[in-house]
Amino acid sequence: MADGKAALKKIEDLGNGIVIEIKTGKNPKFVTLARTRSNIVFDKKNGYLRLGTAKEERNFINVAQSRKFMQTVAIAAKCHKFLEENLHTTIRGLFYQLKFSLGEDVDESIFSEQAESNPLIEDIEVAIDVKREELNLNANRKGVLAGNLKVEDTFGDERQVIDASKMGRSGWAIPSDVDNDIRFVDVKAKYVIVVEKDALWQRLNEDKFWKKENCILITPQGQAARGTRRLIRKLADQGLPVYVFTDSDAWGWYIYWTIKTGSINLAYIGEDVATPEAKFLGVTMADLDKYDFLNKLTIKASDVDLKRAQEMLQYEWIKKHKEWVTELERMIKSKIKLEQDALQGPKLTFVDDYIRDKIKNSDYLP
Amino acid sequence: MADGKAALKKIEDLGNGIVIEIKTGKNPKFVTLARTRSNIVFDKKNGYLRLGTAKEERNFINVAQSRKFMQTVAIAAKCHKFLEENLHTTIRGLFYQLKFSLGEDVDESIFSEQAESNPLIEDIEVAIDVKREELNLNANRKGVLAGNLKVEDTFGDERQVIDASKMGRSGWAIPSDVDNDIRFVDVKAKYVIVVEKDALWQRLNEDKFWKKENCILITPQGQAARGTRRLIRKLADQGLPVYVFTDSDAWGWYIYWTIKTGSINLAYIGEDVATPEAKFLGVTMADLDKYDFLNKLTIKASDVDLKRAQEMLQYEWIKKHKEWVTELERMIKSKIKLEQDALQGPKLTFVDDYIRDKIKNSDYLP
């Protein structure tokens, strides 16, 4: 597992640094960037959420910090072991390993809840600039892809090439880690379309939309998991435009913003998971003027939708983008919303025409 | 779509029957089996939940029933259209089609909420003995498979063979419909193991457990979706033993019972989705005696777990199976539970040894 070597080296450097501090009689310390709200900034120039520069230091010889210091070191040691073994687990599996034993000859348990180990994993990710996936920790995965894309997955001792145009009705299940021992072999598609709902993805996949339009069709199956966000970022890095297609409601907008700008929780890896170039394809309130039949198929906006629209109107970024202001104000005024499923009303394949028209006419929101 | 023809014929027979009733001056009626609680029975002989024989009749010339009658006919007509078009949608897509227009020349909307159309779809499934998947209605899908299994997926105009031993870290995403235009090409495996959590599935998949043991490795990713339940049933029909591996808690037991005996909600297709032959592999409270280290890795049982254990002890079936009584009583007494993830405590690959030992020693619960 060649890719893991860089992470292995970084953990070893971290450990060696501590050893040197001990040997030279210094108070061993661990330094990371603060992941507090106050240190999360919206990077206006690049358009995503990231950490600021505030640091957090943890010292071994400090009554309030020594336990956390030890725990952090124990986690780093376990991840080092996973990398050496070339085996993956999850943060839950890591927790049970920590609970079982801290190491070869330490039988003391200093972890009682997973809530203790989780933030420390993030500390390490930030401190040595690795993602947990590089530490052989799988995150939850969700999301499916179809299209003219081949992926080479080096999996144990085998190299398997997965052709996302030959996955039938199922599609390729997007893994947790799309960086290590996995690479794009062949990206022939012209753009990426991210469809909120699996139901619509299946509709479009059945029509072979991705084949007819030569695009890559992704569904995050709701809110996008880390792996799916990272994959979208990587496809954008290949020069492919990314269009996001969701419901016109609070949840749909949230899915879009998370893909585009990242999220508070993942601000510490913002650059790697955000795709600021992404555009919002629809559905929009403005579609009600373009497609008359949709007026028959609106549903009542919920309080959550209306509240969220109000909140978004306060965002500096939104204020600068008139199309969004108009969208949000229209929902607040009319108190209705629109689902992407409604596009199936007149005929099941209408959703294909809709996307095609939108892209042809560059009819999307920033 | 050869498979769809039977369903098409059944819908046409339903429609023709109504036409004849009208022409002969009779009151058109629709007859189905009642899906009320009182008509759901546990079939002791076969070991699953199914409908009884109570019928429900709906007449057109009846003030209380005519609306529902019309709605039912409208749904049947839409499904007939989907089958003729050879296109799939979901029950949400169907709802929007109904909301848009009832048919060629009927512009009246008689559906305002999806809650109106959903039960009527089930009525039709029962009345003419088809599953919604045969009516081109996709259900939610969830679940992943790896192993020595090839599946032929006739997908639009293409026939694609999916080799579940060549899906890398991802596995084959189990579709909503595993009956129509899809078939097993090659089932070489010796047994099926169903692992509750995707995290453990990924662990076992990384170890190529399915290859070493020549089995099929499935995760329903929590509670099993219709497609996954149906697939497990079909693999059992191929003569493969099915072992279910979950947490030892209320949720884990529920996942097992649903796979084994079906569920109240799907009692109307019980025979097609239940696998009464399935065995419960673990984890069990009895494992605490066999694997000493697990005693260090138990967690507190929740009130839900304890309440559920009490309830299960009242079941006639449980009372007859002493191993289960012992299990449940042990949790109630000790107030602790055990997760399958805990098996990773001593080493990440221990879960492989665990399953192997259990199967070798026939150490599972009925």
Side chain identity at residue B128, one-letter code: I
pLDDT tier, A354 (very low <50, low <70, confident <90, very high otherwise)? very high
Q: What is the pLDDT of residue B112?
A: 83
B144-360: CATH topology is Dna Topoisomerase Vi A Subunit; Chain: A, domain 2 (3.40.1360)
Among all residues of B, which ones are annotated catalytic? 96
A228 to chain B: which residues are within 8 Å by CB?
A: none
Q: Which of A99, A296, A348 sits opposite B99 (nearest CB)?
A: A296
Does the pLDDT value for residue A104 go beyond 90?
no
Q: Does A83 touch chain B (CB under 8 A)?
A: no
Kindly give, in sequence order, each residue whose CB lies less than 8 Å from that of residue A98, ignoring residues fewer than 6 positions away: A71, A74, A75, A78, A109, A110, A111, A117
Q: How far is A35 from chain B (nearest CA, A)?
A: 26
Kindly give, in sequence order, each residue whose CB lies less than 8 Å from that of residue A202, ignoring residues fewer than 6 positions away: A169, B88, B90, B138, B176
pLDDT tier, A199 (very low <50, low <70, confident <90, very high otherwise)? very high
**For the structural domain made of A4-138, what CATH number should be given?**
1.10.10.10
Does the pLDDT value for residue A255 go beyond 50?
yes
B100 to chain A: which residues are within 8 Å by CB?
A: 293, 296-297, 345-346
In 3D, which of A267, A229, A312 has the Cα closest to residue A37? A267
Q: Phi/psi at A138 (nearest 5 deg)?
A: -75, 140
- A321-330, pLDDT tens digit by residue? 999 999 999 9
A100/B345 Cβ within 8 A: yes
Cβ contact B327:B301 at 8 Å = no
Distance CA B355, CA A83 (A): 24
Q: What is the pLDDT of residue B1?
A: 40
pLDDT tier, A64 (very low <50, low <70, confident <90, very high otherwise)? confident
Look at chain B and count its residues: 366
Helices (H), chain A: 4-23, 66-85, 91-100, 114-127, 198-206, 209-212, 226-237, 250-261, 270-273, 287-290, 303-313, 316-320, 322-334, 350-360
B162 to chain A: which residues are within 8 Å by CB?
A: 166-168, 170
Mean pLDDT of A84-113: 85
B169/A153 Cβ within 8 A: yes
Reduce the DSSP state of residue B337 to 3 states and report it: strand
In 3D, which of B152, B248, B146, B158 has the Cα closest to residue B202? B146
Would you list the domain boundaries of chain B? 4-128, 144-360
Q: Which of B96, B160, B341 sits opposite A96 (nearest CB)?
A: B341
Distance CA A163, CA A171 (A): 10
A174 to chain B: which residues are within 8 Å by CB?
A: 170
Assess whether A291 carries a catalytic annotation: no
Rounded to 5°, the CA angle B277-B278-B284 comes to 140
pLDDT tier, A2 (very low <50, low <70, confident <90, very high otherwise)? very low
Q: What is the pLDDT of residue A108?
A: 67
Mean pLDDT of A56-67: 89
Please provide the average confidence, as pLDDT, over all residues in chain A: 94
Per-residue CA distances from B354 to A137, B189, B196, B290 (Å): 22, 19, 15, 10
Q: Residue A136: closest CA among chain B residues belongs to which residue?
A: B203
Q: What is the pLDDT of residue B2?
A: 44
Helices (H), chain B: 4-23, 66-85, 91-100, 114-127, 198-206, 209-212, 226-237, 250-261, 270-273, 287-290, 303-313, 316-320, 322-334, 350-360
Q: How far is B321 from chain A (nearest CA, A)?
A: 32
Distance CA B243, CA B286 (A): 17
Q: How far is A197 from chain B (nearest CA, A)?
A: 10
- A277-306, pLDDT tens digit by residue? 999 999 999 999 999 999 999 999 999 999
Residue segments in chain B with a per-residue pLDDT below the cut of 70? 1-4, 103-108
For residue A37, the tally of other CB atoms under 10 A from its CB is 8
Q: Which CATH architecture has domain B4-128?
A: Orthogonal Bundle (1.10)
**Four-CA torsion B59, B61, B67, B68, nearest 10 degrees:** 0
Residues facing A280 on adjacent strands: A244, A365
In 3D, which of B86, B87, B62, B74 has the Cα closest to residue B11? B74
